[in-house]
Structure 1
Amino acid sequence: MISIIREQDPEAVRTFLAALPDWFGIPSANEHYVRAAGEKESYLARVDGAVVGAALVDRHFPQTGEIHLIAVLPEHHGGGVGSALLEAIEEDLRGDGAQLLEVKTVGESFEDPGYAATRAFYAARGFLPLEEMTDYDWDGPTLIMVKLLSPS
């Protein structure tokens, strides 16, 4: 059974990122995420008591939220952990009156099977592509995806 708790755990995030080098292979970016795990709204996913996933959320405005990070240990990919994290985020945002959720990921014009799976994950959960831009925070394309949050 998957349980989601609200708790900051930078070292758990460090562990997840190290286990996902195909997605998180830039050491300076990883350190940014580890620092952010001690500052941002944080969610941890547990299976049988072990932490297997984490999510970080930014709240730039009361009406919106942004997924800063979702990371799930590879052996738990496809097991509902990412979906459970996303559902907890959406529930909290709706409860606070937010109406829109955003996520940035690698754009489609950068061919990579891992990021294709990431985009498919978000699309299957109601996210729509909004804009793809280059030179946002790396040399390749960044895709902004958004999801309208229905009232709770």
Structure 2
Amino acid sequence: MSFIEVVEGRSPGDTRRILEALPDWFGDPVAVDNYVSATEDSAYGSLLAVGTAGVVGIALTRRHFREAAELHLIAVDPTQRRSGVGRALVEQVVSALQTDGGTLLSVHTVGPSFEHEPYAQTRAFYRSVGFTPLEEHDGIDWSGPTLIMVRTLGTQ
């Protein structure tokens, strides 16, 4: 991995650029608009992965309870995929939550009953950073299956 620094910050323009460069995951313009709006919303925590070429990744979190948060969005510029950027973002989220009393992190993604290779890659990534599948339900985030995955944070 080239030098990447994960920092707190908001960049709606970079969020849109990265999401639009990932049409296999973010091909719905309305969804992209919603994520960009969330980037601007102070109800969401926002981390940026910044390299020498600028912002190459983003993570949005939403704290639902003191103990539990949701990884609402994670996206990495396609030129930086598989370089450790996503892992660095997740680990920074985990570290910040642990420091602030968090014990559980969840994420929603497209469930395995919807066969789509890009989301199979997504689920494999989440497993590689410590998430465990919990439940699959239809109609939560879209009309198809949503898989809820969780990661216990333990204590720091």
Q: 1:118 aligns with which of 95, 118, 122?
A: 122
Residue segments in structure 2 that go unaligned for 5+ positions in a row? none
> Aligned-pair distance for 1:137?
2.2
Cα deviation for residue 140 of structure 1 reads 0.9
2:155 and 2:92 mapped to 1: Cα distance? Answer: 14
Mean CA deviation greater in 109-118 or 41-50: 41-50
1:5-40 deviation line (CA, Å, top 9, x unaligned): 000111110111110011001111111000000111
Look up the equivalent residue of 2:52 and give its one-letter code.
D
| 1:84 aligned partner, one-letter code | A
Q: Distance in 1 between matches of 2:86 and 2:65?
A: 24
Runs of 4+ in 1 over 6 A off after TM superposition: none
Instruction: Tell me, in whole angstroms, the C-alpha distance in 2 between the residues paired with 1:139 and 1:90.
Output: 30
Instruction: Write the deviation string for residues 54-99 of structure 1: whole angstroms up to 9, x where unpaired.
Output: 0100001010110000000111000000000001000000000100
- Counterpart in the other structure of 1:94: 98
The runs of 5 or more residues in structure 1 that have no matched partner are none
The match for 2:60 among 56, 66, 71 is 56
Normalising by the residue count of structure 1, what TM-score does the alignment of the two structures yield?
A: 0.98
Q: 2:140 is matched by which residue type in structure 1? A: Y
Aligned partner of 1:141 in structure 2 is 145
Identity between Structure 1 and Structure 2 (%): 49
Q: What pairs up with 1:75-94 in 2 under 5 angstroms?
A: 75-94=79-98
Letter in 2 for 1:9: S
Rounded to whole Å, the distance in 2 between the matches of 1:49 and 1:6 is 17
Task: Report the secondary structure of 1:37's partner residue.
Answer: helix
Offset from partner CA, 1:88-123 (integer Å, 9 cap, x none): 000000000100000000000111111001000011
TM-score (norm 2): 0.95
Question: CA separation of 1:118/1:142 partners in 2, compared to 1, >3 Å: closer, same or farther?
Answer: same
Quick one: distance in 2 between partners of 1:137 and 1:60?
17
Taking only aligned residues, the RMSD between alpha carbons, in angstroms, comes to 0.8
Question: What is the aligned counterpart of 2:14 among 12, 21, 25?
Answer: 12
Query: What is the CA–CA distance in structure 2 between the aligned matches of 1:137 and 1:103, rounded to whole Å?
Result: 11
Give the aligned partner of residue 74 of structure 1: 78
